[in-house]
Structure 1
Amino acid sequence: MSELLQKAYMDQLVKWIGRPCHFRLLYKISRDGCSAQTFHQKCDGQGPTVTVLYNTNNTIFGGYLSQSWNSDLDYINDANAFLFRLQYTGASNPLKFAVSKAASAGYGHSSYGPTFGGGHDIHTFSGTINKSGNYFPLNGYVGEIGNSYNLNGQSSSTITNDNLQVTDLEVYRVIDGDEQQIQQRKMDKPWREHTEWTEEKMKEIKENLLAYKPVSETNVTAANILLLGQIGAGKSSFFNSINSIFRGKITSKACSGSFEHSVTTTLNPMVRFTPKTPGYIKNPELENKIHCVAFVIDGSTTDVMSNNILQKIKDLQISLNQRGLPQIVLLTKLDKICPDVNNDVTNTFTSSAVCDAVEKIAEILGLPRAHVLPVKNYENESKLKTGVSILLMEALERCLDFADDYIDEQLDKKASEEKWPQAPEESWLLKGIRYLFRK
C-alpha cells in the first residue's frame, strides 16, 4: 500500500521546510495498525518527520518536527516545528502555522501517537485504536490547538473540522537532498566485485546450498545461524524469502511484518532468558551452539539509529566476541535506500547510496565492509526474480562460510586441549590474561 500524500502537497511541504528534501514513508496506520507502540518502534530516532492525518471530512492536516520522536515522557524542543493544513473539506488550501513555544513543540510518550504542543495542540491518539468501518476513531483531541502554535486567525474547526475520525495517518521521514538527484547518483565502477546476474548463476548457487553439509569430522548436522534485529527489520522476511527460493514460489511460512507480534520473536524480550527457560541447555555440544550471528538491520535507518539500539548491539557484540562467534550484517530494504535499486536490484553494487549505507553500518559495528551484505527480501513481489534471489542466496552462502569457520576453530581448539591439557595454575593465569585484555 503506497503513500497517500500527493506530490503537489509534498512539494508544498518542501517549500515550508526550506531546504531540498524528499520523503520516505515510515508509518501508516492502515498498513501497520494504529498502535502507539508500533508508531514509536518505527519512528523514534528517525530524525525530521512529517505527520499527516486524513479525516472523514476530506481534510488533510498535520505537523512537522525537525527533531526525532522519542518515548522520554517529555517535551521536544524544536524552533523549526510547524503545523499545517493542506486540504479543507476536499479543496486544496495550504496553510502553515509556525511554532510559538519552541520548548513544547512536540511531546514524546511511549503510550501516545504523534503529539504536538503543550496542552496539547494536536494529540492524535493513545494506546491502540481498532478500525471502525472505513475509518479509525482516534481517541485524541485537537481542541487545544493554538497553545504552542500561531494559528493566524484560524481555529481547530477551520484546520481539522474538529474531527479525528481518520481514514489514515502517515508519518514520513524527511531526508535531505532531491530524490531525483540521489536516484541519478550511480558509480562508474562497482563498489564491490560481483560476477553475474544470470539464471545460470542463480541455479549454481542454489545447487551449492542444497548440497551443503557442515564439517564431516563433527556430529553437527546443520549450521545454526542466529538472526538478531528490531521488529520490522526483516528477519521473518529473510526467512520467508529463502524459503520461497527453494520452494520455487513466493511463500509466507513465517508471519512477517511490522506489527508487534512476529514469528521470529520466539523469546519475549521483556523476560530474561534463564536456565528455567524451555529449551535451555546448560552445557551444549557443538551441534547445539550458535555458529554464526547475523544482525538484520534496516538499511534506511543507518543514519538515525537511536543510541539505545546502538548500545544494545554493542553490548551483544562484547558477549559474542568473548565467545569467538562470527558476526555478519544483513542490510535489508535496499529499495528504500535507493530508488534506482528499487527499480532494478542489479544496480546494488553501482549505487552510491547503498555503498554509503554499507560503509556507515560497518563503521558503527566495527566490522569489515565485507561482513555487511546488502539484501532485498521478497515483500511486495508475487513472483521470484533472479537478481533478488542471487543477492539472498549469496548472503546465505556467506553465513554458512562463517559458520564453517567457527566449527573448524572449535575443532582445532578441542584437539589442542586434548593434546596439551593445561595445569590448574596455567589455566588460572590464562584466565587472568584474558580478563586483562577484555578490560
Structure 2
Amino acid sequence: MAGKTEELEKRFRDQFCKWMGRSVDFKLVYRASTDGMSPAIFHQKCDNKGATVVIGYNTDGCVFGGYTSVDWRPRTLGDQVEPRHDEKAFLFSLKYMNEYCPRIFPVKNPGLAIVTCTTYTAVFGSACAPDMRILPSSVVNKDTNGNFAANFNVGLFKFGTIYDNGGVTMQQVTNNNFVFKEVEIYQVNDPVSLDKPWREDNKGNTATLKKMIEDYCPVEGTGVKQSRILLVGSVGAGKSSFVNTMNSIFRGHMTCRASTGSAENSLTTKFRCHQLRNDSNVLKFRLCDTRGLEDTHGIDPGDLTAVLDGQVPDLYTFNPFSPITPDSPGYIKTPTVNDKIHCVAFVIDSTSVDVMNESIFSKFKLVQKLANQRGIPQVIVLTKVDQIELDVEEDLTRLLYSSRVAYVVDQVAQLIGLPRGHVLPVKNYEKETELNETVDRFALLSLQQMLRFADDYMHEFLDVLNTRDQ
C-alpha cells in the first residue's frame, strides 16, 4: 500500500474473526519498525491492553504468531516468571513462503498458555521451552537491511507441547527463520456500535429521493443536456456494478447493463457513457465507465485527459498501448461543456484500502491532479461496505452506526486527500435477485451528492463565462 496504516490486512482480520467465532476490532498497539524491539517497550505498549494478537512477518514471507485473551502485564514485581491460564489462546500461521495458507493451533494445556515477566516479551507456552516466541527478551536493533534478527535458539522451542500443532513442525510454520521484517501487536476488542451516527442519517423516504433524481435537470444556461459523472477505479472495485445497481433502482428490477465479474484484467474495455432510464424517460445524467486502473495496463494518462475534456466518443475502445489521438475514429475535436466530465467518482473497494498498491494509488493521484486542473469536483464511492463488519453485513441500516465503517471512511479520505463528506459508502447489488430499500437509499444518496457536485461545476462554468462577457 501507499504507506503503512494501522489497519490489519482484511483477509487476516477476517480469518481471526472466523477463528474467534465472532466479529472483533483490531487496534494496533505495537509495531517494531517504529517502536523498536525490547522487553521494556513491549510492556510499555502492550500491558493493560487485554486480549492481543502478536504477528511476526519474517524475511522468507512467513506470517505467524499467537493470540491470547489475557493481559501481558505481569502480576508480580521483579523478574519472576508467571504462567497464565487462557483457554482461548491459540497459535497460528497465516502465510508460508508468501503463500496464504491459514492454520490454527489451539491451546491444549491452558494453564501454561502464556508466560508473563517484566524481562520477557510475548512467550506462548512454558518459559524454558516455549511453543512459540516472536519477540526476544533483549534489545534488538535493526540490521543494515532494516530487519530484526531475533537470534532465538530454535532448538529450545517445543512447538506442539502446550499447543496442538496437529503434526505440523516449526519449520513448516516459520521456515526456522526468526529474522523479522516486521512485528505487530493488535489489541482485540468487541466492535463498538456508535450511539449516534457518524454522519447525519437521512431517513427520508427512498421513493421521494428517487423521484427527486428522476426529475433532476442540469444547470440552466450551460447547454448541458445530461450531467456526466466519470467512474474511475481499479479492477474489481465495483464501477460496473455501481452502474448496474443504479440502473436496477430506476428500472425497478435487477438489470445488467455493464459487464461485471472477476477477472485479472479489466472487463470494461470501452468508454461507455451509460444512459439510465426509468419506465418512461431517459434520465438527465450519464454514468461514464472507463477501463479499470491496473498495475501494468489500464487507461492511459492521455486517454484520461481526453475523457475529462470530452474528446472521447461513447463506445470508444481503449488500447493501453496506443492512446487516443485527433486522428482516432470518432475523436471529438471541438468538445462543448456538454461533452466534458462534470464530476469524477473514485470507486474504491472498502475491503482493500489497506492493501492498495503504490501503482494504483499513483494513478488515482494522477486523475485527481488532472481533475483539479480543470476544476472538476471529486467524490469517493466506497463499495462493499457490507463486508467491513459482520453487523453491517447482517443489517445494512447499521452502516452509519459502525465504528469500523467510520474508520475506513476517515482512512480513505486521508489517503486520497478529500473531505470525509466526499466519501460515499454504498453496497452494490451482487448476489441479490430483488431490490432492497436500504441498498437503494445509500446508492441514491451517493448519486444525489454527485449530481450536486456536477451542478457546482456548471455554476462555476457560468460564473467564468459571465466574467469574460463583462
Superposition TM-score, scaled by structure 2 size: 0.54
Residue 197 of structure 2 aligns with which residue? 190
Residues 261 and 309 of structure 1, relative CA distance in 2, 3 Å threshold: closer
Residue 227 of structure 2 aligns to a residue whose secondary structure is coil
* Structure 2 Cα separation of the partners of residues 388 and 313 of structure 1: 26
Residue 17 of structure 1 aligns to a residue whose secondary structure is strand
The answer to whether residue 100 in structure 2 is matched with residue 51 in structure 1 is yes
Residue 379 of structure 1 aligns with which residue? 430
Residue 99 of structure 1 aligns with which residue? 175
CA contact (8 A) 2:230 2:344 kept: yes
Residue 131 of structure 1 aligns with which residue? none
* Structure 2 Cα separation of the partners of residues 367 and 390 of structure 1: 23
CA contact (8 A) 1:79 1:99 kept: no
Find 1:248's aligned residue among 210, 231, 252.
Answer: 252
Please report how far the alpha carbon of residue 206 of structure 1 lies from its aligned counterpart in structure 2 after TM superposition: 0.9
Residues 339 and 220 of structure 1, relative CA distance in 2, 3 Å threshold: same
Residue 157 of structure 2 aligns with which residue? none
Residues 374 and 102 of structure 1, relative CA distance in 2, 3 Å threshold: same
* Structure 2 Cα separation of the partners of residues 296 and 341 of structure 1: 20
* Structure 1 Cα separation of the partners of residues 453 and 404 of structure 2: 27
2:334 alignment partner AA: N
Residue 288 of structure 1 aligns with which residue? 339
Residues 296 and 269 of structure 1, relative CA distance in 2, 3 Å threshold: farther
* Structure 1 Cα separation of the partners of residues 185 and 98 of structure 2: 9
* Structure 2 Cα separation of the partners of residues 9 and 347 of structure 1: 21
Find 2:243's aligned residue among 239, 249, 266.
Answer: 239
* Structure 2 Cα separation of the partners of residues 206 and 267 of structure 1: 33
Q: Which has the larger radius of gyration?
A: 2
Structure 1 unaligned blocks of 5 or more: 22-45, 54-65, 67-76, 81-91, 106-173, 420-439
The answer to whether residue 390 in structure 2 is matched with residue 336 in structure 1 is no
Deviations 1:350-385 (A, max 9, x none): 111111111111111221111111111011112111
1:226 alignment partner AA: L
Residue 90 of structure 2 aligns with which residue? none
Please report how far the alpha carbon of residue 102 of structure 1 lies from its aligned counterpart in structure 2 after TM superposition: 7.2
Deviations 1:135-171 (A, max 9, x none): xxxxxxxxxxxxxxxxxxxxxxxxxxxxxxxxxxxxx
CA contact (8 A) 1:226 1:293 kept: yes
Residue 17 of structure 1 aligns with which residue? 65
Residues 375 and 49 of structure 1, relative CA distance in 2, 3 Å threshold: farther
* Structure 2 Cα separation of the partners of residues 104 and 277 of structure 1: 53
Residue 373 of structure 1 aligns to a residue whose secondary structure is strand
Find 2:262's aligned residue among 258, 262, 268.
Answer: 258
Runs of 4+ residues over 4 Å off in structure 1: 5-12, 77-80, 92-96, 101-105, 174-178
* Structure 2 Cα separation of the partners of residues 50 and 186 of structure 1: 35
Residue 407 of structure 1 aligns with which residue? 458
Residue 457 of structure 2 aligns to a residue whose secondary structure is helix
Task: Name the one with the larger helix percent.
Answer: 1
* Structure 1 Cα separation of the partners of residues 248 and 68 of structure 2: 40
Q: What is the count of residue pairs matched by the alignment?
A: 286
* Structure 2 Cα separation of the partners of residues 7 and 362 of structure 1: 27
Residue 148 of structure 1 aligns with which residue? none
CA contact (8 A) 1:326 1:406 kept: yes
* Structure 1 Cα separation of the partners of residues 382 and 229 of structure 2: 16
Residue 18 of structure 1 aligns to a residue whose secondary structure is strand
Residue 220 of structure 1 aligns to a residue whose secondary structure is coil
The answer to whether residue 226 in structure 2 is matched with residue 222 in structure 1 is yes
Deviations 1:149-202 (A, max 9, x none): xxxxxxxxxxxxxxxxxxxxxxxxx99665x823xx2111111001216xxx11
Show the 5 A alignment for 1:76-95.
94=168
CA-atom RMSD in angstroms: 3.7
Superposition TM-score, scaled by structure 1 size: 0.58
CA contact (8 A) 2:149 2:180 kept: no
Residue 338 of structure 2 aligns to a residue whose secondary structure is helix
1:253 alignment partner AA: R
Residue 206 of structure 2 aligns with which residue? 202
* Structure 2 Cα separation of the partners of residues 9 and 328 of structure 1: 33
CA contact (8 A) 1:225 1:291 kept: yes
Residue 256 of structure 2 aligns to a residue whose secondary structure is coil
CA contact (8 A) 2:219 2:459 kept: yes
CA contact (8 A) 1:20 1:177 kept: no
Deviations 1:273-292 (A, max 9, x none): 43334443233100000000
Residues 329 and 224 of structure 1, relative CA distance in 2, 3 Å threshold: same
Residues 285 and 300 of structure 1, relative CA distance in 2, 3 Å threshold: same
The answer to whether residue 422 in structure 2 is matched with residue 418 in structure 1 is no
1:247 alignment partner AA: R
